[in-house]
Every structure is written in C-alpha cells, then in structure tokens.
C-alpha cells in the first residue's frame, strides 16, 4: 500500500523545468554564500537591489535543493501551532497514532476548545528523539553483530 503525500491548498509540485532551474540556481547561489553577514541580490527584471541576511540565502539554497529533487516546499514558522492532522502528516503517521502519542505524554499539546494543537518545535523535538533512538538501536545491533562475528 503506497502512502500518498498529503496535498495542501496552494502547494504544487515543481515541474521538470522548474526542478532543473532550481538545481542550477542553488549551485550558483551556494557559491556566493560566505562573504559576510548579508549579500545583495540583483533582480534582472528591474534595477532593484535587495539586501538579505546570509541566513535567508542559506534557506533559499535549501528550498532550491528540495525543488531540484522534485519536492514541494512549505515554510513553517518554528512557533507555528499545528492541528493533529497537520502534525501527523509532518511525521508521516496516522492521525490516530499521533493522538495516542499526545495522550500518552510523548508530545506536548494543548487544547483550543476541544481541539488539540501541537507546537511545531515540540513536534520536531519528538522527531529528533525518535531519530536518536533509531540511531542508538542501529549502533547497538552493529555492535552485537560484531561481537557475534557476523561480518557486519
């Protein structure tokens, strides 16, 4: 059974031409990074100079790299409040599974009326914890395989 990526209003997948252009643009932009705290971008359609923080250019390079891989991109502010469905979609789990994690205390949440809300930062902390558990388990399995001489 394949799990289709959720479709959000206003979000569309990049075309092949956009992905190719994003790849080229990300490489050129990445080459310009690292020369101070800000950079100037010249828009060719006009004579407007825009000065932006280098951190924003890093984000733009990341966005372009995702587009180059054919991924749609959406920015989520770190303090964003998510519905349980949005949180489940970000973790690629079912909503009932996420609700069990919330009610079990694995992820902090609060209620607005009768609806649960999850802070994006709490959701990412939970995901980092899962990633760490996975890495620890893999390390332990590799160590056991070496002890047993399984050639891994």
Sheet holding 110-112, edge to edge: 81-82, 115-119, 110-112
- Rounded CA-CA distance 51/40 in Å is 4
**Is the distance from CB of 118 to CB of 82 less than 8 angstroms?**
yes
Q: What is the pLDDT along the chain (152 residues), one digit of tens a residue?
A: 444 455 555 667 888 999 999 999 888 888 877 666 667 777 777 777 777 788 888 889 999 999 999 888 878 787 889 999 999 988 889 999 999 999 999 999 999 999 999 999 999 999 999 889 999 899 899 888 888 887 65
Identify the CA nearest to 148 among candidates 140, 135, 134.
140
Structure tokens given for 129: 């914890």
Residue 3 confidence (pLDDT): 44
Is the overall model pTM greater than 0.85, yes or no?
no
Residue 126 confidence (pLDDT): 94
Residue 148 confidence (pLDDT): 85
Task: Write down all domains in the chain, each with its CATH number in brackets.
Answer: 16-68 (no CATH), 81-147 (1.10.10)
Which letter, b or e, does each residue of 67-83 get, where b requires 16 or more Cβ atoms within 10 Å of its Cβ?
A: bbeeeeeeeeeeeeebe
């Amino acid at each position: 059974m394949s799990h289709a990526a959720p479709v959000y209003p206003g979000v569309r997948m990049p075309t092949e031409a956009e992905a190719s252009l994003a790849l080229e643009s990300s490489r050129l932009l990445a080459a310009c990074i690292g020369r101070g705290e800000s950079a100037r971008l010249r828009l060719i359609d006009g004579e407007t100079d825009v000065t932006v923080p280098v951190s924003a250019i890093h984000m733009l390079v990341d966005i372009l790299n995702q587009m180059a891989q054919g991924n749609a991109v959406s920015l989520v502010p770190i303090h964003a409040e998510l519905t349980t469905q949005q949180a489940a979609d970000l973790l690629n789990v079912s909503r009932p599974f996420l609700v069990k994690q919330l009610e079990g205390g694995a992820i902090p949440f609060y209620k607005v009326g009768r609806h649960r809300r999850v802070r994006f930062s709490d959701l990412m902390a939970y995901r980092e914890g899962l990633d760490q558990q996975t890495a620890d388990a893999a390390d332990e399995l590799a160590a056991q395989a070496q002890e047993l001489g399984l050639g891994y």
